[in-house]
Amino acid sequence: MADLRTTLVGHTFRNPLWLASGIWGESGNSLKGAWEAGAGGVVTKSIGSQPRMGYPNPTVVTYEKWGMLNAMGLPNPGIEEYPQEIGIARSAGAAVIGSVFGADAEEFAQLAARMAATGVLALELNLSCPHAKGLGSGIGQDPDQVREVVRAVKRAVKIPVIAKITPNHYDVASLAQAAESAGADAISAINTVRALAIDVRLRRPVLAHGLGGLSGPAIKPIGLACVWQIYERVRIPIIGIGGIEHADDVIEYVLAGARAVQLGTAVAFRGIGIFSGLAKELSERLDALKVHRLEEIVGGAHTTATPQ
């Protein structure tokens, strides 16, 4: 059986399959459930300074088999109430990564400090939500602001910091480089891709918020391109996200440069059993490919690539 363990942000994860932020991550019991279902790590819902109700419904549109559109609007109980949820997850022994979002470097730093105090093993900065106006999206598009936020957070906390990058940019690697230069310990990519669905009978966008974010299998090729480009320009570990459902999806991300991956939409499409199922599938597939340790092949597609 291939060794699925992966080490990054100062921790050895039992497998590279993490629960992505925003999925099963609002309540501590759900984080615990995902951990017990076999996730290698669990990322919390992105938490802000104040409770946020999020956008009204409809907040989700599904495309049969290949994707999903959502505009939740970052609902979250706020940092005041959230530590009790993390407590539940940690008491089950879960490897918890705390996700936060803020409007500027200062708010990010304050939130990060409070989140770090809950005992999470690392932070993920949501620099990339494509549909919350003024919340993270502006910041996440500008390398200078990314640098500023990461630097402020790094000053405020001792635990490792992961910068989560938006795909809605012409040069995602420049954002990752900015984060690295400010001391980020890892990059995660990608968040959802800006998208829209219209109901032709009602002549209006389906989501209450109008624009939303695309996730699921359709964005896998986009996420892979981002990870590939980031891997060519930064040295810190990368966590690949976007459309992962099968063992080969994970291996593609790892070959593109990811040291771990996160699953979001697949949890809705295939259920929480996906973590144990996919770990098994992955291990078998690596055996068939004669790979003994997942970590061996991180970035492995770069060395053989035709230079162009």
Ligand X SMILES: Cc1cc2nc3c(=O)[nH]c(=O)nc-3n(C[C@H](O)[C@H](O)[C@H](O)COP(=O)(O)O)c2cc1C
Binding site for ligand X (CB under 6 A): 20-23, 45-46, 68, 70, 72, 74, 99, 126, 164, 191-192, 215-216, 219, 241-244, 263-266
Tell me if 52 contacts its own copies by CB under 8 A.
Answer: no
Q: Which of 15, 70, 126, 192 binds another protein (CB under 8 A)?
A: 70
Distance CA 86, CA 228 (A): 33
Q: Residue 239 touches which of its own copies, ligand X, another protein, none (CB < 5 to 8 A by kind)? A: none
Closest Cα partner for 34 from 15, 11, 53? 15
Q: Which of 180, 264, 282, 291 binds another protein (CB under 8 A)?
A: 264
Of 160 and 216, nearer to another protein (C-beta) is 216
Distance CA 45, CA 284 (A): 31
Q: 76: which strand partners? A: 52
Tell me if 225 contacts its own copies by CB under 8 A.
Answer: yes
Q: Residue 75 touches which of another protein, its own copies, ligand X, none (CB < 5 to 8 A by kind)? A: another protein
Of 74 and 294, nearer to ligand X (C-beta) is 74
Tell me if 53 contacts its own copies by CB under 8 A.
Answer: no
Kind and range of the H or E run holding 249 = helix 247-256
The encoded tokens of residue 65 equal 């088999």
Task: Tell me if residue 129 is catalytic.
Answer: yes
CB of 123 to its own copies, least distance (A): 24
Phi, psi (deg, nearest 5) at residue 299: 75, 10
Tell me if 206 contacts another protein by CB under 8 A.
Answer: yes
Of 231 and 269, nearer to another protein (C-beta) is 269
The encoded tokens of residue 4 equal 């699925």
Q: Which of 21, 59, 166, 283 binds another protein (CB under 8 A)?
A: 59
Binding mask 123-162 for its own copies (x = CB under 8 A): ----------x-------x---------------------
Helix (H, G, I), strand (E, B) or coil at 221: helix
Neighbours of 269 (CB within 10 A): 18
CB of 86 to its own copies, least distance (A): 31
CB of 143 to its own copies, least distance (A): 12
Please identify which residue in the block is written with the tokens 């050895």. 12
What is the β-pairing status of strands 11-13 and 6-8?
antiparallel
* Contact residues: another protein, CB under 8 A: 22-27, 29-30, 32-33, 45, 51-54, 56-60, 62, 68, 70, 72, 75-78, 81, 199, 201-202, 204, 206, 208, 264-265, 267-268, 271-272, 304, 306
> Which residues are designated catalytic?
129
